[in-house]
Amino acid sequence: MADEDKYTKDGTTDFRNNPANKKETGSWRACPYILGNECCERLAYYGINTNLVNYLKFQLNQSSVEAVSNVTNWSGTCYVTPLIGAFLADAFFGRYWTIASFSIIYVFGMTILTLSASLHGLKPPCNDNNICHPMGLQTGVFYVGLYLIALGTGGIKPCVSSFGADQFDDSDESEKKSKSSFFNWFYFSINIGALVASTVLVWVQTNVGWGWGFGIPAVAMAVAVVTFFSGTKLYRNQRPGGSPLTRICQVLVASLRKFRVQVPADKSFLHETAEEESSISGSRKLDHTDQLSFLDKAAVETQSDGIKGSVDAWRLCTVTQVEELKSIIRLLPIWATGIIFTTFYSQMGTLFVLQGNTMDLQMGSSFEIPSASLSLFDTLSVIFWVPVYDRLIVPLARRFTGHRNGFTQLQRMAIGLAISIFAMLAAGTLELVRLRMVRRHGFYEHKHVPMSIFWQVPQYFIIGCAEVFTFVGQLEFFYEQAPDGMRSLCSALSLSTVALGNYLSSLLVNIVADVSTRDGKPGWIPDNLNYGHLHYFFWFLAVLSVLNLGAYLLVAKWYTYKKSIGPSTP
């Protein structure tokens, strides 16, 4: 290998901060440590999230609406804090040290949560009828642990998928092809962790105790930390490029200062560094695009800008800096359409579980399956569809589309949004059939209706299929379309759709509960669902999904892909 081909050309470094050697670092040799870390971390997360609604309802004695709201609020926070972690990674610490630091916070949170469910004095006392009465201190300690976990995951989630993708050099064609496959297997590893959580951990929480049920995920998180550090010598690291928010603000300020300045017809007159690399550390230059031309004013050189001396970045920005902001703005409409998808996706951990609680949980003559464990069929669906998509659908689609990945990321997400509509229709139809049985036989006060919980399997399986198209496509899309110096931030932006989807779900549940319970009516989502109309809520989400798909198709048609200047230009 020639000496110039020995090292990566994307600016990555090894753990000693030297240029990364292709033969010694990165590619698939580094991925097992990253995928192993993600598998264990997701096992820990889903070990809490999957059955949390039941813990809040039965151990902390909360109502159905209150428990659902608290779960979605916490889940939402877990997807807002990545904005903090992403900023720190892109601006100061890099992805490696951000993941390492926040993983330790995560372990502390898991430890406190385990103690709150195990130690006498912190564990909520329950009477002979298993009705618990937690005190303020006990509830407070529980929430301290829970929200430390939310903070810890904020430094991991926006960085780990981008950190994995950083292991593949875009200037190497074989590695570039592997990157798309990495995102599929990354999501596969997430769902292996989720599978163990929704089966083993939910059973332990239900049948052994919450102390063990939270303790095992705590150990899994400690294993995740050890796994991550074990691969240190193999990782390729991108240097932090400075504060992306500062660069965005500089473009906005400079363009507003020059709102009366005319943008030249020949865009080659716009300001850019003469060097081959951009002025942003670790970033390639971006080619000019015609959209959002007002922002181009920030790169127009005027006599007062001091071109021959030092340049004030608050008055004059480079084309690359302007295009960074344009890239973020172009992503926002695509980002917004992901919120409705995650709104109904969040129902798996809340209303699907409460719906399952009312059904026949028996499997065989003696085993009772926890309702939260039905999410394993979502996980099995993902585990089934990821290799099918990667090995069968992509090669088949490639013959018709000519695209190296079968579908563009935008097409892949559109397919997932369309599939997701059928999940809500399935859930609503099942609830309608269940309620008809309740009314026909007068099962209003029965804890379990004689209707197998396995009738929920189709709605979980359909959501799993939709995930493989939408979430994986979204991961890859936001990584590829992000400016080099903002990849963690854009990954966090992608994840924030989950946060807003959870918050929107919480808002909708509370509005529906408030509006539908007027005039003494039990409402759509009462504590006893046998008196409710949960199917109305599911069908309402299906209608929102149809409208959302229409909006997505419009904004996807409008979208303009970024244009990088360098060896890895698509």
Q: What angle do CA 20, 23, 27 make, to 5 degrees?
A: 75
Specify whether 308 is located in the same domain as 350: no
At residue 282 the predicted structure's pLDDT band, cuts being 50, 70 and 90, is low
Q: Say if 375 falls within a structural domain.
A: yes
Domain at 125, CATH number? 1.20.1250.20
Whole-number pLDDT of residue 277: 65
d(CA 336, CA 265): 33
- Choosing from 304, 323, 342, the residue where a domain stops is 323
pLDDT surpasses 50 at 508: yes
Specify whether 445 is located in the same domain as 489: yes
Q: What's the whole-number average pLDDT of the chain?
A: 84
Section 386-409 average pLDDT: 82
At residue 526 the predicted structure's pLDDT band, cuts being 50, 70 and 90, is confident
pLDDT surpasses 50 at 569: no
- Residue matched to tokens 């097409």: 411
- Choosing from 323, 358, 389, the residue where a domain stops is 323
d(CA 394, CA 212): 42
Q: Tell me: the pLDDT tens digits for 133-184?
A: 778 888 889 899 999 999 999 888 888 888 888 888 877 777 777 777 788 8
Task: Choose between 51 and 552: higher pLDDT.
Answer: 552
Specify whether 236 is located in the same domain as 249: no
201 DSSP 8-state letter: I
User: Which domain does 553 fall in, by range?
Assistant: 12-240+324-565
Top-confidence range, 42-51, 62-71, 538-547: 538-547
Specify whether 226 is located in the same domain as 93: yes
Top-confidence range, 27-41, 42-56, 169-183, 539-553: 539-553
d(CA 440, CA 288): 66
Specify whether 465 is located in the same domain as 317: no
- For the chain, the domain total comes to 2
Q: Around Cβ 401, how many Cβ atoms within 10 Å?
A: 14
Specify whether 254 is located in the same domain as 360: no
Whole-number pLDDT of residue 108: 93
Express as a percent the part of the chain with pLDDT over 90: 16
Specify whether 198 is located in the same domain as 61: yes
Specify whether 256 is located in the same domain as 169: no
- Look at phi and psi of residue 11 and say left if phi exceeds 0, alpha if psi is from -120 to 50, else beta: left
Least confident of 6-10, 188-192, 249-253, 488-492: 6-10
pLDDT surpasses 90 at 546: yes
At residue 422 the predicted structure's pLDDT band, cuts being 50, 70 and 90, is very high
Q: Say if 7 falls within a structural domain.
A: no
Whole-number pLDDT of residue 132: 75
Whole-number pLDDT of residue 474: 87
- Choosing from 323, 357, 374, the residue where a domain stops is 323
Q: Say if 438 falls within a structural domain.
A: yes
Q: Say if 4 falls within a structural domain.
A: no
Specify whether 136 is located in the same domain as 96: yes
pLDDT surpasses 60 at 4: no
Whole-number pLDDT of residue 373: 78
Task: Choose between 123 and 427: higher pLDDT.
Answer: 427
Section 224-244 average pLDDT: 86
Beta-carbon contacts of residue 169 (< 8 Å; ≥ 6 apart): 8, 9, 10, 12, 22, 26, 175, 176, 236, 568
Q: Say if 3 falls within a structural domain.
A: no
Task: Choose between 568 and 453: higher pLDDT.
Answer: 453
Specify whether 74 is located in the same domain as 223: yes
Distance of CA 202 to the CA centre of its chain: 22
Gyration radius (Cα) of the chain, Å: 25
Whole-number pLDDT of residue 173: 72
Closest listed residue to residue 338, CA positions, set 477, 153, 474, 188: 474
Specify whether 25 is located in the same domain as 161: yes
Q: Around Cβ 521, how many Cβ atoms within 10 Å?
A: 13
Q: Say if 389 falls within a structural domain.
A: yes
Q: Say if 509 falls within a structural domain.
A: yes
Whole-number pLDDT of residue 564: 62
pLDDT surpasses 60 at 494: yes
**H runs (alpha helix) in 59-135:** 64-78, 82-88, 94-116
At residue 278 the predicted structure's pLDDT band, cuts being 50, 70 and 90, is low
Least confident of 78-87, 238-247, 531-540: 238-247
Specify whether 260 is located in the same domain as 393: no
Q: Tell me: the pLDDT tens digits for 240-276?
A: 877 788 888 888 998 998 888 888 887 777 888 777 6
Whole-number pLDDT of residue 193: 87
Section 347-360 average pLDDT: 84
d(CA 45, CA 93): 24
Q: Say if 161 falls within a structural domain.
A: yes
At residue 112 the predicted structure's pLDDT band, cuts being 50, 70 and 90, is very high
CA-CA-CA-CA dihedral for 472, 475, 476, 477, to nearest 10: 110
